Structure 1
Amino acid sequence: MNWKGVFPAITTKFHSDGSLDMDLFFKNIDFQLECGVHGFILGGTLGESSVLSQEEKITLTRETVNYLDGKVPVILNIAEGATKDALFWAAKAEELGAEGLMLLPPMRYAADAREVVTYFKAVANSTKLPIMIYNNPTDYKTLVTIDMFAELVECENIESVKESTRDISNVTRMRNRFGDRFKILCGVDTLAMEELVMGADGWVAGLVCAFPKETVAIFNLVNEGKYDEAREIYRWFIPLLELDIHPKLVQYIKLAEQHCGIGSEYVRAPRLTLIGEERERVEKIITEGLAKRPKL
Structure 2
Amino acid sequence: MLFKGSGVAIVTPFDATGNVDLEGLEQLIAFQLENQTDAIIINGTTGEASTLTREEKLATIRHTVKVVNNRVPVIAGTGSNNTAESAAFSAEVSALGVDGLLVVTPYYNKSSKRGLYEHFKVIAEHATVPVILYTVPGRTGVPIPVETVAALAEIDNIVGIKDATGDLAYTAHVRRSTPPEFAIYSGNDDMIVPVLSAGGVGVISVAANVVPKAVHEMVTAYLDGDAARATQLQLDYLPLIEALFIETNPIPVKAALAIMRLPAGGLRLPLYEAEDATKQALETVWKELSQ
- Counterpart residue number, 2:120: 120
After superposition, the Cα gap between the structure-2 partners of 1:158 and 1:271, relative to the gap in structure 1 and judged at 3 Å, is same
* TM alignment of 1:1-296, pairs within 5 A: 1-245=1-245, 248-274=248-274, 278-279=275-276, 281-293=277-289
How far off its partner does 1:171 sit? 2.7
Q: Which amino acid aligns with 1:110?
A: K
Mapped to 2, the partners of 1:215 and 1:284 lie a distance apart of 23
User: Can you give the 5+ residue segments of structure 1 that lack an aligned partner in the other structure?
Assistant: none
Deviates more, 1:286-295 or 1:253-262: 286-295
SS at match of 1:293: helix
Mapped to 1, the partners of 2:70 and 2:76 lie a distance apart of 15
How far off its partner does 1:181 sit? 4.0
Mapped to 2, the partners of 1:247 and 1:78 lie a distance apart of 25
How far off its partner does 1:49 sit? 0.8
How far off its partner does 1:162 sit? 0.4
SS at match of 2:115: helix
Which structure 1 residue ranges, 4+ long, deviate > 3 Å from structure 2?
Answer: 243-247
SS at match of 2:264: coil
Work out whether residues 254 and 266 of structure 1, in 8 Å CA contact, stay in contact via their aligned partners in 2: yes
How far off its partner does 1:289 sit? 2.2
Matched length: 291
SS at match of 2:215: helix
Mapped to 2, the partners of 1:294 and 1:92 lie a distance apart of 43
Q: Which amino acid aligns with 1:191?
A: M
| 1:218-253 CA distance string (max 9 Å, x none) | 112222232333333322211221245455221100
Mapped to 2, the partners of 1:7 and 1:23 lie a distance apart of 21
Mapped to 2, the partners of 1:267 and 1:149 lie a distance apart of 33
User: Can you give the 5+ residue segments of structure 2 that lack an aligned partner in the other structure?
Assistant: none
| 1:43-89 CA distance string (max 9 Å, x none) | 11111111111111111111111111111111111232221111121
| 1:188-234 CA distance string (max 9 Å, x none) | 11111221233210100001111112111211222223233333332
SS at match of 1:231: helix
After superposition, the Cα gap between the structure-2 partners of 1:189 and 1:63, relative to the gap in structure 1 and judged at 3 Å, is same
How far off its partner does 1:152 sit? 1.3
After superposition, the Cα gap between the structure-2 partners of 1:214 and 1:294, relative to the gap in structure 1 and judged at 3 Å, is farther
SS at match of 2:6: strand
After superposition, the Cα gap between the structure-2 partners of 1:294 and 1:271, relative to the gap in structure 1 and judged at 3 Å, is closer
Work out whether residues 9 and 205 of structure 1, in 8 Å CA contact, stay in contact via their aligned partners in 2: yes
After superposition, the Cα gap between the structure-2 partners of 1:136 and 1:69, relative to the gap in structure 1 and judged at 3 Å, is same
TM-score normalised by the chain length of structure 2: 0.94
How far off its partner does 1:23 sit? 1.5
How far off its partner does 1:28 sit? 1.1
Work out whether residues 247 and 278 of structure 2, in 8 Å CA contact, stay in contact via their aligned partners in 1: no
Mapped to 2, the partners of 1:246 and 1:139 lie a distance apart of 16
Q: Which amino acid aligns with 1:103?
A: V
Cα RMSD over matched residues? 1.8
How far off its partner does 1:36 sit? 0.8
Deviates more, 1:92-101 or 1:284-293: 284-293
Identity in percent: 25
After superposition, the Cα gap between the structure-2 partners of 1:140 and 1:222, relative to the gap in structure 1 and judged at 3 Å, is same
TM-score normalised by the chain length of structure 1: 0.92
